[in-house]
Structure 1
Amino acid sequence: MDFEAWWLIFVPLLFGLGWLAARFDIKQMLSETRNLPDSYFKGLNFLLNEEPDRAIDAFVEVAKLDSETTELHFALGSLFRRRGEMERAIRVHQSLLFRSDLPIAQREHAQHELAQDYLKAGMLDRAEEAFAVLKETSFALPALRALIRIYESEHDWGRAIEAVDSLRKLVDEPVPQLVHYYCEQAQAALALKPTADVHAAQKALTQAVHAAQAAQVAPGSPSLVRVAMIRAGIAGSLQDEVAKRQHLESILKQSPEFAGLIAQDLLAGYIASGESAAGLALLLAHYEQYPSLDLFNVVFRAMRAQQSAASAWAFARNSLQNHPSLLGLDRFLEAELAQVEQEGKGAEPKQVAVPGADLALLRTLINRHTQRLDRYVCRSCGFQARRYYWQCPGCNAWETYKPRRLEEIE
């Protein structure tokens, strides 16, 4: 292609247009910069100098001077909430909602931020109302998740189940704790006075099993262990010892680590049917495969009652040699002292495991060191408790407790 000399005219023209555009941008930037309040730059300077308190004060001044700075309002509100200044965070987000010219998207954002403020401040009733408004907005998912947490904390299991159903219509995700919600409903029905509603409890447990299947919960999971335990309790209240034993023995097979929680009830069922030796043999065989402190306690006491102090002591000595435990020794001494006290009240005397030993003194010394070990512990937040919880009282997480004492985990 031949070169045309007149094309060179476009070169200075393009340079000129670029220079004019740059001049226009610079003038516009300078104009916008002049319009910014001095407090804005002071706030930036404080942030750079790592003075967040003075920076916040400066930005608050900017927000007062220019009510149109919505993004700055959102930033301030989040800062206040993170710092725990909930009253200031609430005021900032409420001031945004009071604006009639706020676009719908930003209004929904402000409503969500305000709901989070209420939740963190512990104002659950207001948080519930604020999140409920967002159910039909772009913030529906986080609002429903927050509502589920609120209903959990209020033990309003019916509304928690409804919120989970609404959540699953929006997103296909498993909600394993739904099984526990139905279990809570079952236990509430059984606790009714003057008469337990067994039918309602059984219906709730059936729904719990369906929820477990929908969430693909593993057969030996803690939630299904809880279902089996409640069903065993219902069978026991109906004097159906066969069904009760079947439910408890299913836990031994599918979730052997939970044996310590059900061993006493299972043994009581065998004793009631005149098969105490068979019950003890079953638990002893299970202990040999899956040793735990709670199961040790049940087996030791049963051997002490059904057989002799010598056989119980032989079992305890062998167990403590294979699995050294201060708690195990403490439980052994506790049982021996209880037996000595019973003999002192006129019961038939039995052989004492350690003749001549000051068992009370021994247990007092050991018990001082075992107090902190005789607890279950949450794997999420570390909250310790003497009883086993399906939901941690500290962090409200589900299934974070192992059915083992602290000494066994350390």
Structure 2
Amino acid sequence: MDFDYQWLLLGLPLFFILGWLGSRFDLRQLKRETRESPKAYYKGLSLLLNEQQDKAIDAFIETVQNDPDTTELHFALGNLFRRRGEFERSVRVHQHLLVRADLSQADRERAQHALAQDFVKAGLFDRAEAAYKVLEGTAYHTEARLALLNLYERSRDWRAAVDTAQQLESAGTGSFARRISHYWCELAQMAEEQHHPDEAERALQQALKADPSSARPWVMQGQRLARAGQPAEAFEAWNELRRRDPASFTLVANDYAAAAIAAGRAADAKTALEKLLADAPRLDFLSAWAKLESDPEVAANRYRDMLHAHPTLSAAREVLQQPAIAASAKAVGPMAEQSLADVRTAVTRAAKPLQRYRCAACGFEAQRHFWQCPGCLSWDSYPALRIEEQ
């Protein structure tokens, strides 16, 4: 059958008209969607700025449903879920981004980093560690390593922390010598608790090698030797601490005096403490010195001088506890003796809150000194002085 070219002549204009109408329809739809998408986005942003997070999330979800390819909105939505503590939903959003084949490499790395943050906030440290390790060699590798270092600290995986800190230092991120020294000290403490003295000694030597100026290894070395019945060696370790870091020496001043007595070095220790008291009059130094002074009256006078120069409740408590004061009250009569006891109790109670150590970073207070704050996890944020002496 022959083809009739008349139909072709009639059909071409018809196809052209239909194509033109179709393009107009698509263009109008695209313009409408383009207009509606920013409106929904700005609506969500406005609600977010007005701290109406629930409504903002609803607006963003509606936008994402209408336009699933909106990558930035996915990130915004995931961050909102994380901030609200809805970690499971945040994880789903970022995992959805990662499975998209059309996602750029930069956005894929960004989604991986956000997913790792989700796992950290959710307390899923093992999954967070795996997620951060995927970022090795990407634009986020430094941030990932720093996050891993914090994860290892929180999980007390000190050997992994040492390796990661050394990698960061080698990459030029900064100096991690002091933190590495702390990690080795933590390993030494764990070895001591497990009754492995040789391993503890090696860890302390590594701590000193990492940062010779760090006070903690010398403090722990002296304590370890004193527990092992080696007072002379403990005395020498603390002497090194006294020369290197007099401020941190307050933490072991009384133990230093006891080790000196046991090692037959009381005179040397007394001379060293007198020099410290002349440079920095601290009650801990005076208490250690008083242990080495044979004349109670001389010690009592020294405490009174301390109270006069530095009128603190702790100094007043020490003066009230001197035998000479108690003897004077007893000579006056039972009423004076009882009054002295009551005053001593009241001063001791009032002084107790001021004898705490306070973190300089977050203000967390504790009865004992910490090398790492239990509150904010900062290192070396506790001064070696109590609140009353700061």
Q: Which residue of 1 aligns with 2:201?
A: 202
Larger RCO, structures 1/2 (Cα 8 Å, 6+ apart): 1
Matched residue of 2:368: which SS?
coil
Q: Which moved more, 1:366-375 or 1:351-360?
A: 351-360
Check 1:250–1:142 CA distance in 2 against 1; reply closer, same or farther (3 A cut). Answer: same
Q: Deviations over 1:243-269 (max 9, x none)?
A: 322221122222111232121222112
CA distance in 2, matches of 1:171, 1:254: 28
CA distance in 1, matches of 2:345, 2:352: 11
CA distance in 1, matches of 2:42, 2:306: 72
Q: Which residue of 2 aligns with 1:307?
A: 295
The alpha-carbon deviation at position 32 of structure 1 amounts to 5.8
Whether the 8 Å contact between 2:257 and 2:291 is mirrored in structure 1 is no
What is the 5 A alignment of 1:11-410?
Answer: 30=31, 33-34=34-35, 36=37, 39-47=40-48, 51-175=52-176, 176-193=178-195, 196-198=196-198, 200-212=199-211, 219=213, 224-237=214-227, 239-303=229-293, 306-308=294-296, 310-333=297-320, 335-336=321-322, 352=326, 354-356=328-330, 357-358=337-338, 359-409=340-390
* Structure 1 residue identity aligned to 2:343: L
Q: Which moved more, 1:99-108 or 1:318-327?
A: 99-108
Whether the 8 Å contact between 1:300 and 1:332 is mirrored in structure 2 is no
CA RMSD of aligned residues (A): 2.8
CA distance in 1, matches of 2:49, 2:169: 45
The alpha-carbon deviation at position 144 of structure 1 amounts to 0.8
The alpha-carbon deviation at position 37 of structure 1 amounts to 7.6
CA distance in 1, matches of 2:281, 2:367: 19
Matched residue of 2:326: which SS?
coil
* Structure 2 residue identity aligned to 1:249: N
Q: Deviations over 1:273-320 (max 9, x none)?
A: 3343543343233223212232233334554xx322x32321111110
CA distance in 1, matches of 2:99, 2:286: 64
The alpha-carbon deviation at position 328 of structure 1 amounts to 1.9
Q: Which residue of 1 aligns with 2:20?
A: none
The alpha-carbon deviation at position 226 of structure 1 amounts to 1.2
Whether the 8 Å contact between 2:256 and 2:288 is mirrored in structure 1 is no
Whether the 8 Å contact between 2:254 and 2:287 is mirrored in structure 1 is no
Check 1:299–1:42 CA distance in 2 against 1; reply closer, same or farther (3 A cut). Answer: same
Matched residue of 2:181: which SS?
helix
CA distance in 1, matches of 2:253, 2:156: 29
Matched residue of 1:316: which SS?
helix
Percentage of matched positions with identical amino acids: 39
Whether the 8 Å contact between 1:293 and 1:405 is mirrored in structure 2 is no
* Structure 1 residue identity aligned to 2:368: R
Check 1:45–1:245 CA distance in 2 against 1; reply closer, same or farther (3 A cut). Answer: closer
The unaligned stretches of length 5 or more in structure 2 are: 1-26, 331-336
CA distance in 1, matches of 2:239, 2:183: 24
Q: Which moved more, 1:200-209 or 1:314-323?
A: 200-209
Whether the 8 Å contact between 1:297 and 1:332 is mirrored in structure 2 is no
Q: Deviations over 1:43-70 (max 9, x none)?
A: 2553576644322321121112221111
The unaligned stretches of length 5 or more in structure 1 are: 1-25, 214-218, 340-349
Whether the 8 Å contact between 1:300 and 1:312 is mirrored in structure 2 is yes
Matched residue of 2:329: which SS?
coil
Q: Which residue of 2 aligns with 1:18?
A: none
* Structure 2 residue identity aligned to 1:58: A
* Structure 2 residue identity aligned to 1:261: L
Check 1:88–1:35 CA distance in 2 against 1; reply closer, same or farther (3 A cut). Answer: same
TM-score by length of 2: 0.81
